Amino acid sequence: SAVISQKPSRDICQRGTSLTIQCQVDSQVTMMFWYRQQPGQSLTLIATANQGSEATYESGFVIDKFPISRPNLTFSTLTVSNMSPEDSSIYLCSVGGQQYGYTFGSGTRLTVV
């Protein structure tokens, strides 16, 4: 299965600022998924990122707040923009498919103060 390097692992940010999270995969993948996991809760899909096209956002998530880049088949970034304390969460990227399952990056723990 693919190995994903995600960074930063954690950050503490001031409200109103932005943070960009990076995920690097050790193999080429068509789709990358970005999730949010709030404390004690399950995973919520933010968006699906395909190389060469606009990301597809889930209900409740918008591009202006969570812009995503997918410049090639091994890399993607998620930016959390104009942050508020409600954005404090763990953000995870994931790759895979239904045939072999999905693997996750190590996560980014974001605290907004």
Residue 78 and residue 55 in contact, taking contact as beta carbons nearer than 8 Å: no
Positions touching other proteins (CB under 8 A) are 1, 31, 33, 41-45, 48, 56, 92, 97-107
Instruction: Between 43 and 73, name the residue whose CB sits nearer to other proteins.
Output: 43
Instruction: Between 51 and 106, name the residue whose CB sits nearer to other proteins.
Output: 106
Residue 73 tokens read as 């088949």
Instruction: Between 11 and 81, name the residue whose CB sits nearer to other proteins.
Output: 11
Query: Measured from the CB of residue 76, what is the shortest distance to other proteins in angstroms?
Result: 15
Query: Measured from the CB of residue 71, what is the shortest distance to other proteins in angstroms?
Result: 20
Q: Which residue has the tokens 């970005």?
A: 34
Q: How far is CA 59 from the centre of its chain?
A: 16
Residue 63 tokens read as 């591009």
Query: Measured from the CB of residue 16, what is the shortest distance to other proteins in angstroms?
Result: 27
In angstroms, the Cα distances linking 92 to 4, 32, 74 are: 10, 10, 16
